[in-house]
Chain A
């Protein structure tokens, strides 16, 4: 699939979400009873009364350990809301999220902080790095949160930076890095704590297509090589070809699970 075949990826994402042919995620989830991540009937309503917005309606999905999946949908469809709930940043209005044995919704505020530090790696849509820390320090900071030894954390940070092609940029501050380099540092930061789950929100939004592909390829390689489980949020159909499965979301409803090839051809 090339850019010329999909002149309007946003429009197409919306179309395919509406007209997809794959099974509903809830049906698919029933076929994965032992999946690492189980999201069941998660609803999120922002605000209350007149101003209530249902960002997510009874979302159900399952992701197996080692899978790298995409969450594809147009802007405002509830993608960020869903991964925020999965990652323990946001409490669902109803429903449950389990990662392995952990029921995320039942954790206290304190336990959630620890859960995020130890078991989740986030790459956010923007403002991913601490501006007064170098690339390497942004990684090392995470090691301090999970109590890694100094030598272990240095070795791990240097290895990640090397794999991400950032060895030369390790001592640069974020403001001295390009957008693509910053996203790669953020990916390294997300992997630094050896998380069970890597959650990535629109990693290519600020990048051109070529750079975007490069970053997503790297992301896939890191997740696959390390046997991590990854969810990448995107509204860009071109980026889903690097993932194993694609969950489509529209107006807060998970509609279909597709294989990337089914979407592209």
Chain B
């Protein structure tokens, strides 16, 4: 005769409603975590996904790749620094485009597919090998589609599909550097020379990243160098965006936990008469505490299963415009956190149980 499960069986509606409410709270937390992760990924995914150890920008760029302008020969200058294994240029710009009859904004990267700075996250097809080919993340394109850039008129044929490679949360295309040069020249006629935005470099085996970066900055004039992770962290605004989302997710989580704690406190207070009786006839407080904890665990686990199902549906059904993937690690971490903190919130109920005076079960008072 298990008190916890028997009560749930007898009060299906009450526990059903409770489970539903908890499921919505877990759902909200999971969805916010997933969406904010996806949005941050879409903002910085391109830099994060570049296969390179480090990036060099012009020292006037204020850590912003889009504001950085470097002459093409910087690539050779960086490659010549001792401790640098290889270097390649990266160019990028935002431009209008038309694909499948639809006008979109697109971020174009010119990269060396075989050198440092090549994109990662290929899910289908291949990286560009020839002029006017592109690997793309987003925009609803398929392999074989042609993207017509505006105003340059350059046509890019999609040869590969990428994931987690967006920049600025818009569709992002990776072509070779020569094609990138064409796009810039045709977009801005009369430009004296076509700059690149950054130099990607790999660090030679055995060399210290910090020393190599210092060496680049001292021997190549007008350049600032970063490890890739530093470059990502320094993207303007990314700090405050990450923080804002952190607060949003954290608050949702905390409110959810507090609500769950109060739910169970209400259930406990409603049952005080029974609990007092059970204490009077010789039930230990520990046994009652376990009963409440079991019910919390049961409700939270069931609610989490429902919530994960809802999030899966939502991720498929919501058109967010950015690629959203549900990471198993996010789900497991969120559900575990909800479970652990719900049990801690359950201490509110257990504290109330500990305070029961079994003597108050006697008499009619």
Inter-subunit contact A132/B361 (CB<8 Å): no
Inter-subunit contact B6/A128 (CB<8 Å): no
B residues in contact with A100, CB < 8 Å: none
- Residue among B277, B280, B281, B284 with max Cβ neighbours from chain A (10 Å): B281
Closest Cβ–Cβ distance, residue A141 to chain B (whole Å)? 5
A116 near B: Cβ within 8 Å?
Answer: yes
**A-contacting residues, B229-256, CB 8 Å:** none
Inter-subunit contact A127/B281 (CB<8 Å): no
Please give me the residue from chain B that is nearest to A145 by CB atom.
B282
Inter-subunit contact A145/B7 (CB<8 Å): no
B100 near A: Cβ within 8 Å?
Answer: no
Inter-subunit contact B1/A141 (CB<8 Å): yes
Inter-subunit contact A141/B282 (CB<8 Å): no
> Secondary structure at chain B's binding surface: helix, strand, loop or mixed?
helix
Bound form: Cα–Cα A115–B1 in Å: 21
Inter-subunit contact B363/A122 (CB<8 Å): no
Closest 3 CB pairs of A and B: A117-B282, A116-B282, A140-B1
Known contacts A124-B361, A125-B362: A113-B279 contact under CB 8 Å: yes
A164 near B: Cβ within 8 Å?
Answer: no
Inter-subunit contact A126/B364 (CB<8 Å): yes
Inter-subunit contact A130/B280 (CB<8 Å): no
Known contacts A113-B283, A127-B273, A201-B363: A132-B1 contact under CB 8 Å: no
Inter-subunit contact A133/B281 (CB<8 Å): no
Please give me the residue from chain A that is nearest to B7 by CB atom.
A132
Q: How many A-B residue pairs have CB under 8 A?
A: 85
Inter-subunit contact A131/B282 (CB<8 Å): no
B residues in contact with A90, CB < 8 Å: 359, 362
B residues in contact with A129, CB < 8 Å: 277
Inter-subunit contact A117/B362 (CB<8 Å): no
Knowing that A125-B363, A141-B3, A143-B1 are A-B contacts, what are 19 other residue pairs whose CB atoms are under 8 Å apart, sorted by A's residue number? A83-B362, A89-B280, A90-B359, A90-B362, A113-B284, A116-B281, A117-B281, A124-B277, A126-B363, A126-B364, A127-B274, A130-B278, A132-B10, A133-B1, A133-B3, A146-B282, A173-B10, A201-B362, A201-B363
**A-contacting residues, B23-69, CB 8 Å:** none
Residues of A within 8 A of B (CB): 80, 83-84, 89-90, 110, 113-118, 120, 122, 124-133, 137, 140-146, 173, 189, 193, 201, 205
Inter-subunit contact B283/A137 (CB<8 Å): no
Residue pairs across A and B with Cβ atoms less than 8 A apart, 30 shown, are: A80-B363, A84-B359, A89-B280, A89-B359, A89-B361, A89-B362, A90-B359, A90-B362, A113-B284, A114-B284, A116-B280, A116-B282, A117-B283, A118-B282, A122-B361, A124-B280, A124-B363, A125-B364, A126-B363, A127-B274, A128-B277, A129-B277, A132-B274, A133-B1, A133-B3, A133-B10, A145-B282, A145-B283, A145-B287, A201-B362
A residues in contact with B282, CB < 8 Å: 113-118, 120, 142, 145-146, 193
